[in-house]
């Protein structure tokens, strides 16, 4: 397999993913000494260019969307979305596997730096154990999108801690959307969010909360993985806090609003 360096157009070749990542790292450290990324980020980027094999063009129309919670029998579908489709055209984000909100501490959001296979295994374990919860959107039977809708108590990044009001165990937190390129701008994220709101009370939650970035953070549209503020405003979320990079918005679940 081979890839083209985005910095100089040199072709990097190797026999496997791991070897390609290491070869690209050697090239970058020799030819691009000022590149401001960690060794692991560079390896992950190289390997993602080979894993992301799904279509990259947006469809003008899509088939009916189906939304299902990620249960054990849907983990393989979840993996297919993250392994191949979700980050086509955006390989620099493909290593996270939605682990960041579960492992990153507040103020350290850019320091999570693990190989993509470690994050992959971590999330599979969390999904199987029920420590991460979310929904897959399917279009034509193909996994097309994901929303992480875990309890706030399961997020290191958003957990408020003992004595918080409302309690972490009573809040579903919307931490991440991933929509594969063909299905973007078709209302998919909104449909996923609507399902979270519809199910939250049945999960024992009193609130649904989200953490959209502030416009001043200059998040590019394809990287706005927390969902835009307008998505939440349209569904009656109210701001309860503003922080350095984001705001906290919250509303009651659909069945108790």
Residues 69, 188 within the same domain: yes
Residues 67, 38 within the same domain: no
Can you give the pLDDT at residue 107? Answer: 73
Buried b (16+ CB within 10 A) or exposed e, 71-101: eeebeebbbebbbbbbbbebbbebbbbbbbb
Domain containing 173 equals: 60-256
Residues 77, 168 within the same domain: yes
For the chain, how many residues are written? Answer: 257
Residues 129, 9 within the same domain: no
Can you give the pLDDT at residue 229? Answer: 95
Mean pLDDT by 10 residues, the chain (257 residues): 92 96 96 93 97 97 98 98 97 96 80 89 98 98 98 97 96 98 97 98 97 78 83 98 95 77
Residues 176, 216 within the same domain: yes
Can you give the pLDDT at residue 257? Answer: 44
Can you give the pLDDT at residue 217? Answer: 66
Can you give the pLDDT at residue 70? Answer: 98
Residues 178, 211 within the same domain: yes
């Amino acid at each position: 397999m081979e890839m083209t360096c985005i910095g100089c157009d040199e072709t990097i070749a190797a026999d496997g993913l791991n070897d390609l990542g290491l070869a690209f790292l050697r090239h970058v450290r020799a030819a691009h000494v000022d590149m401001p990324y960690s060794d692991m980020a560079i390896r992950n980027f190289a390997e993602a260019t080979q894993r992301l094999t799904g279509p990259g063009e947006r469809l003008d129309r899509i088939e009916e969307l189906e939304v299902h919670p990620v249960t054990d029998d849907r983990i393989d579908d979840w993996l297919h979305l993250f392994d191949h489709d979700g980050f086509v055209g955006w390989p620099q984000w493909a290593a996270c596997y939605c682990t960041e909100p579960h492992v990153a501490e507040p103020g350290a959001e850019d320091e999570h730096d693990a190989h993509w296979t470690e994050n992959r295994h971590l999330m599979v374990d969390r999904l199987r154990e029920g420590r991460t919860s979310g929904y897959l959107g399917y279009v034509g039977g193909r996994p097309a999108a994901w929303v992480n809708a875990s309890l706030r108590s399961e997020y290191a990044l958003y957990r408020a801690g003992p004595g918080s009001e409302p309690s972490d165990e009573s809040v579903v937190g919307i931490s991440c959307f991933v929509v594969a390129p063909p299905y973007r701008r078709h209302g998919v994220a909104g449909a996923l969010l609507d399902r979270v709101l519809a199910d939250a009370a049945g999960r024992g939650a009193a609130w649904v909360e989200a953490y959209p970035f502030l416009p001043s953070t200059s998040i590019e549209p394809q990287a706005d993985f927390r969902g835009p503020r307008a998505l939440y405003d349209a569904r009656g979320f109210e701001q309860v806090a503003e922080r350095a990079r984001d705001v906290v918005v919250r509303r009651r679940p659909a069945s108790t609003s």
